[in-house]
Amino acid sequence: MNEFVETLLDLPWHEPKDSYDVVIIGGGGHGLATAYYLATRHGITDVAVVEASYIGSGNTGRNTTIIRANYGIAESVRFYQHSLELYRSLEEETGCWIMHSTKGLLWLAHTESGLRAERARSLLNQACGAETVMVTPEEAKRICPQLDLSGGGRYPVLGASYHPGAATARHDRVVWAYAQGAMRRGVDILQHTPVTGLLRDGGRVVGVQTEGGPITAGIVMSAVGGRVTTIAAMADVRLPIRTHPLQALVTNAYAQGLGPIVSDSELLCYVSQTARGQMLMGAEFDSQPSYSMASSFEFLQSVATKVTSILPFLRDLRVLRQWTGICDISPDYSPIMGATGVEGLLVTTGWGTWGFKAIPAGGEAMAELIATSQTPSLIASFGLDRFARDHAMADQGSAGTR
């Protein structure tokens, strides 16, 4: 089998029922993973995933597929390391090939302060179970021979942290693997079913309103990406979320040769090579919040300038495609998972530009929370109430953005 062989998915579609134990809004990675783990880990299959478009059509289908755990606060390192390990065994568990490929990640630093931040991150990562080591410029060049250590004469590389466990996987296949696993066990996925309101009984959320009629539920969970504020507002829940566009691009295909994922903590850009050979690159999100998915020339210009300074061979490639997703960015750049203060409504949001790598651990933890009504210790620090308790989990440096 090679990675371009497609096999027909086994997706049993059913007519929607008018009542479920659990209704999950949003058929992206997080929503489908939660449904999958509810079915497989907890035997809860009376579940519907309600998706406004088709599954994976939102941010999951638009992201840049990087899986890593080199975060800057202990709670996040543990959470993402667990996710990285779940990804590693996901093919075996689901029987679906998600094209998982461990590549390692170089995170370049160009200043003394950048180097110091990387060193602090490596020490914390090692203490919390994620392998990250500091490497000299020469060692970085051995790991990635295409690097220009002078950074085009403008951004000399002083060192880097190397995170060997980092990987990539095919994003659509991750969606399909979870959808198939969940549907085979009886979960209903309702595509092209936008949620227009939340059913409320007193202070409690008891279901969702759709164009096809109301669906009642014991628990409603929002796994919506950029439009999460709209869903929360239907239950008068206020979220500290701003929706920013995030752009990415791919070049034409090129012989396989770029080994690791190359990321830059100070230029704020990253490059990896897809299985098809395309160079996939991204940078920071647009500074102003917006729901517009228009691509911009400024992004193209800025990301091209940055990546060609550290990887000059990219100058010879052509841009094939550029696109935009809309991200739910939290004020402390950490996710928000769990209770909303409104009974019957749970939320998993704040996934910003770092949601793909968290899909397995996020889904598993939310499934456990739904099944047991107990918040798993892995995500206890990521509740919405942390802002009221003045325990924000500030970790902007690890988001690779600003």
Partner 1 sequence: MLWIICPTCGERPIPEFRFGGELPHVPDRITDDAERNLDWVWMHDNVDGVTTERWFHAAGCRRWLTLRRDTSTDRVVA
Which residues lie near partner 1 (CB under 8 A)? 227, 229-230, 236, 238-243, 245, 287-292, 294, 296-298, 331, 387-388
First vs last C-alpha separation in the chain = 41
Comparison of 117 and 231: residue with beta carbon closer to partner 1? 231
Minimum Å gap between C-beta 241 and partner 1 is: 6
- Name the minimum Å distance from CB 271 to partner 1: 23
Question: Based on CB atoms, which residue is closest to partner 1, 225 or 360?
Answer: 225
Q: Which is nearer to partner 1, 30 or 227 (CB)?
A: 227
Handedness of CA 100, 101, 104, 109 (dihedral sign): negative
Minimum CB–partner distance for residue 239 and partner 1 (Å): 7
Please identify, using beta-carbon distances, which residue of 170 and 386 lies nearer to partner 1. Answer: 386
Shortest Cβ distance from residue 283 to partner 1 (Å)?
A: 14
Strand partners, 204: 201
Q: What's the closest the beta carbon of residue 324 comes to partner 1, in angstroms?
A: 10
Q: What is the length of the chain? A: 402
CA-wise closest residue to 106 among 254, 265, 247, 255: 265
Nearest C-alpha neighbor of 107 from the set 79, 82, 144: 144
Residue (122 or 349) nearer to partner 1, CB: 349
The residue with tokens 């679906």 is: 96
Q: Among residues 209 and 296, whose Cβ is nearest to partner 1?
A: 296
Alpha helix locations (H) across 276-320? 297-310
C-beta separation of 35 from 176 below 8 A: no
Least distance in angstroms from the C-beta of 170 to partner 1: 30
Rg of the chain in Å (alpha carbons) = 21
Which helix (H) or strand (E) segment holds residue 214: the answer is strand 213-222
* Identity of the residue numbered 346: L
Q: Kindly tell me which of 25 and 67 has the beta carbon lying closer to partner 1.
A: 25
Asked whether 221 and 346 are in contact (CB, 8 A), the reply is yes
In whole angstroms, the minimum distance from the beta carbon of 391 to partner 1 comes to 12
**Cβ count within 10 A of residue 143:** 17
Q: How far are the Cα atoms of 65, 249, 296, 322, 325 from residue 292, in angstroms, in the given order?
A: 22, 17, 11, 14, 9
- If one counts every other C-beta atom within 10 angstroms of the C-beta of residue 332, the result is 20
When the beta carbons of 301 and 372 are compared against partner 1, the nearer one is 301
CA atoms of 47 and 41, how far apart (whole Å): 14
**Measured CA distances, 79 to 75, 223, 387 (Å):** 6, 18, 20
CB of residue 220 to partner 1, shortest distance in Å: 20
**Which DSSP category does 15 fall into?**
P
CB of 225 to partner 1, least distance (A): 13
**Residue closer to partner 1 (CB basis): 164 or 289:** 289
Q: Quote the CA–CA distance of 170 and 98 in Å, as a whole number.
A: 6
